[in-house]
Amino acid sequence: MPAVFAPYGVETAWVLWLLPLALLPIVASGRRRSAVPAIAAAPADPLSRRIGRALTLSGIATIGGLVVGLSGPYRAGERITRIGIGAQVSMLIDRSGSMNETFAGKQPSGAEESKAAASRRLLSGFVGERAHDHFAVTAFSTAPMLVLPMTDRHDAVRAAIAAIDRPGLDYTNVARGLAMALSQFGADRGIARVLLFISDGAAVIDPRVQDQLRAAFAKVRPNLYWLFLRTKGSPSIHDRPAGEDTPQAAPERHLDLFFKSLTIPYRAFEAEGPQAVADAIARIEALERDPIPSTEVRPRHDLTGWAYGVAALGLLLLALAVLAEADLPARRAVRRIAADEPLRRAA
Amino acid sequence: MNGPPSAEIVYRPRWRPRGSRPGAHRGRDAGGLGTFRDQVPFLSLPDARRIDLRATLRDPFEGVHVRRFETRVPVEIYALVDLSASMRYRGVADRIALAAELCAGLAASATRIGDGFGLIAADRAIRADLTLPATRHRSAALTLAGRLAAASCPAGGAEGMVEGAHSLLGRPKMVFVISDFRWPAELIRRLFSALALHDTVPVLLADSAEDEDLPDWGLAELEDLEGAGRRLVFLRPALRRRWIAREQERREALAAMAAASGARRPFTLVDRFDAQALSRHLLTD
């Protein structure tokens, strides 16, 4: 079979043995025939010839379409690999209770929007603008939640992001969230990988877990962006605490230090309002531009409708041709009786 | 066929036939009976019964004159009928029945005045079963003409017509070539030149369903009776006009070919046999 037909198949192949019937319109036609003494009496007419050819073709299309339709044609499902410009983006989103608050640290009221709502709005725009990116969404509070594995289905990604402003709960457990977000990247090499970490706070990472994370980061080597949604009045990433400089006293600062010690490209954005979040996302977007092969799975597609559609179109043309048939024999019958009458009298 | 065939066809040969048998047509030879023709000296026609006393007395040289009269002699009428497949055509009229009706009319008209009637039917070859040498026997001629109506015409091609024309030997005869002339022009020319010796009347069997009765609009699938395939035609006023003009041209071409070989102007028999129209045509042409 030629390569063109390779992706196509039929349910019941034996029906296709009837396909030679489609050649019938070449040798026969269902139209009423008028016998004439010499066909050469009709002047040569290109329009008639074209109509005749079109009707033969519609006959072939009708029978062929019906046979193919009966055999149940389909286009087999397949994986298509395309090269686009983009990156694999694994989003790690904080779902702790404080995300429900506004940037001022209050419960949102009226026109105010919570940090979660703001990040949802801005991230949806981020997903829509980049056609070839792959996204994975992971949420975390006390335990990490796998929201969406790595995919290029942007509708699903947007739906996942739309769900992140559901009221969050509990505390912030960064380490397990990071581990899961890292595990979202596949084994493919040579693809730009981005870990987008969105949170409004930090927590102490256990030294033992720190080693595991270090190993995981070294293996995956993503570009790490930390979008820190800072509540007004809370300490900045860069603030040294007044007292002892321990992870417990300033978890944000120490998480930042931990990220810096990972020897991977890392940037932290500190945002104190929706506008700042938008700026940060725009900058991330500008940074990540690399070729990325994207695999799309096309499901099996039923082509029966098309086959019957072709047959219906052919039938319609044939029906129109029958309606347009010139009524030669009927006229003849009437005239015959009338013409015989005077003869009989004369005889 | 309804009732006895009409014997109303009146015809006049173009030439003066010879012959000694009494018949209905003005002969070339002068004889003792018939219409007065001229006076000749007694020595050239020593027939004492026809001495013209008045002319003899009027002659200053005292010669004896004899009256001479035109003889009336019979001719032989032949119908050369095409039985190629296109004669199966049924339009307003059944073409082969029309031909049979015409032959019966000719047979009746010819035998009524003592002329012989013969029939030669041919498709690719002469059809021996439908061929009759000229006879004055009325019922034999009519029977064969009647059998013609039921004849089958399976073969396409009319080459036997030329063969039939060559078989018409001897004295000139009056030959009616009955066909629709859906032949190649070359065959028509050959037939007419083979019949150049005779007084040939081409009778073109036409049908108004073939041209004038065509509908203005519509699709028609035409099938050739002679096996030249089928064709779809989209009828519309412009095409219909072209079609009729083409048929007209064909008739004119036939007339030109007939004239070139000395045959008479073709008579076009449309839809029904009209003996009076044929008589008018035969007497005025």
pTM: 0.64
Instruction: Please check whether residue B71 is in contact with residue B56, taking contact to mean a CB–CB distance below 8 angstroms.
Output: no
Same domain, B52 and B192: no
Same domain, B43 and B164: no
The pLDDT, as a whole number, for residue A98 is 75
Instruction: Please check whether residue A200 is in contact with residue A115, taking contact to mean a CB–CB distance below 8 angstroms.
Output: yes
* Disruptive mutation site among B205, B231, B235 for chain A (greatest number of A CBs within 10 Å): B231
Torsion of CA B196, B198, B201, B204, to 10 degrees: -50
Same domain, B42 and B108: no
Q: Which residue of B4, B218, B225 is in closest CB contact with A37?
A: B225
Q: Last residue of some domain: B35, B52, B73?
A: B73
Of A212, A236, A215, A218, the closest CA to residue A226 belongs to A236
Residue of higher predicted confidence among A154 and A24 = A24
B247-282 confidence digits (pLDDT tens) = 999 999 999 999 999 999 999 998 888 889 999 999
Residue of higher predicted confidence among B48 and A103 = B48
Q: Last residue of some domain: B73, B102, B136?
A: B73
| Token representation of residue A186 | 């596949």
The distance of B1 to chain A (nearest Cα, Å) reads 9
A27-60 confidence digits (pLDDT tens) = 887 788 888 888 888 888 899 999 999 999 999 9
The distance of A69 to chain B (nearest Cα, Å) reads 29
Partner-chain contact B222 A47, CB within 8 Å: no
pLDDT class for B4, splitting at 50, 70, 90?
A: low
Partner-chain contact B247 A41, CB within 8 Å: yes
Phi, psi of A226 (to 5 degrees): -110, 115
B100-116 confidence digits (pLDDT tens) = 999 999 999 999 998 99
Residue type, B227: G
Q: Is the pLDDT of residue A333 over 50?
A: no
Give the C-alpha separation, A83 to A292, whole Å.
5
Domain boundaries, chain A: 3-33+40-77+300-346, 81-296
Instruction: Find the CATH number of the domain harbouring B166.
Output: 3.40.50.410
Count of domains forming chain B: 2
Instruction: Please check whether residue B194 is in contact with residue B158, taking contact to mean a CB–CB distance below 8 angstroms.
Output: no
Same domain, B95 and B165: yes
Per cent of chain A over pLDDT 90 is 14
Instruction: Please check whether residue A241 is in contact with residue A83, taking contact to mean a CB–CB distance below 8 angstroms.
Output: no
Torsion of CA A171, A177, A178, A184, to 10 degrees: -160
* CB-neighbour burial class of residue A71 (10 A; exposed 0-12, middle 13-18, buried 19+): buried
Assess if residue B8 is contained within a domain: no
Same domain, B67 and B168: no
φ/ψ region of B19 (left if φ > 0, alpha if ψ in -120 to 50, else beta) reads left
Residue A33, chain B, CB below 8 Å: the answer is: yes
Q: Average pLDDT for residues B122-132, to the nearest whole number? A: 90
Mean of the per-residue pLDDT values of chain B = 88
User: First vs last Cα of chain B: how many Å apart?
Assistant: 29
The pLDDT, as a whole number, for residue B64 is 93
pLDDT class for B200, splitting at 50, 70, 90?
A: very high
A111-144 confidence digits (pLDDT tens) = 777 777 877 887 887 777 767 778 888 888 888 8
* Disruptive mutation site among B234, B244, B272 for chain A (greatest number of A CBs within 10 Å): B234
A137-147 confidence digits (pLDDT tens) = 888 888 888 88
What's the Cα-to-Cα distance from A280 to each of A234, A252, A263, A274, rounded to whole Å? 19, 18, 22, 10
Give the C-alpha separation, A38 to B92, whole Å.
16
Partner-chain contact A38 B228, CB within 8 Å: yes
Phi, psi of A236 (to 5 degrees): -80, 170
Residue A327, chain B, CB below 8 Å: the answer is: yes
Same domain, B130 and B142: yes
Same domain, B113 and B62: no
Q: Which residue of B2, B4, B219 is in closest CB contact with A324?
A: B219
Of A177, A190, A200, the closest CA to residue A98 belongs to A200
DSSP letters for A284-304:
HHHH--EEEEEEEEEPPEE-H
Residue A326, chain B, CB below 8 Å: the answer is: yes
The distance of A301 to chain B (nearest Cα, Å) reads 39
Partner-chain contact A346 B6, CB within 8 Å: yes
The distance of A56 to chain B (nearest Cα, Å) reads 10
Instruction: Please check whether residue B180 is in contact with residue B268, taking contact to mean a CB–CB distance below 8 angstroms.
Output: no
| Token representation of residue B58 | 């009027």
Same domain, B250 and B196: yes
The pLDDT, as a whole number, for residue A331 is 41
C-alpha R_g of chain A: 36
* Number of Cα atoms under 13 Å in the Cβ half of residue A47: 8
The helix (H) or strand (E) run that includes residue A73 is strand A73-75
Assess if residue B32 is contained within a domain: yes
Assess if residue B3 is contained within a domain: no
Note down the domain range covering B55.
25-73
Same domain, B56 and B98: no
Assess if residue B159 is contained within a domain: yes
Same domain, B137 and B271: yes
Per cent of chain A over pLDDT 70 is 90
Give the C-alpha separation, B36 to B55, whole Å.
14
Same domain, B57 and B87: no
ipTM over 0.90: no
Count how many pairs of residues, chain A against chain B, have C-beta atoms within 8 Å. Answer: 129
Give the C-alpha separation, A196 to A119, whole Å.
12
Mean of the per-residue pLDDT values of chain A = 80
The pLDDT, as a whole number, for residue A209 is 83
DSSP letters for A150-215:
EE--HHHHHHHHHGGGS---S---HHHHHHHHHHTS-S-SS--EEEEEEES---PPPHHHHHHHHH
Q: Average pLDDT for residues A189-216, to the nearest whole number? A: 81
Q: Last residue of some domain: B45, B73, B101?
A: B73
Q: Is the pLDDT of residue A343 over 60?
A: no
Residue A47, chain B, CB below 8 Å: the answer is: yes
The pLDDT, as a whole number, for residue A342 is 43
Of the candidate ranges A72-76, A114-118, A130-134, A314-318, the one whose mean pLDDT is the lowest: A130-134
The domain made up of A81-296 has a fold known as: Rossmann fold (3.40.50)
DSSP, res B94 = B
φ/ψ region of B105 (left if φ > 0, alpha if ψ in -120 to 50, else beta) reads alpha
Q: Is the pLDDT of residue A332 over 60?
A: no
Angle between helices B185-194 and B237-260 (to 10 degrees): 30
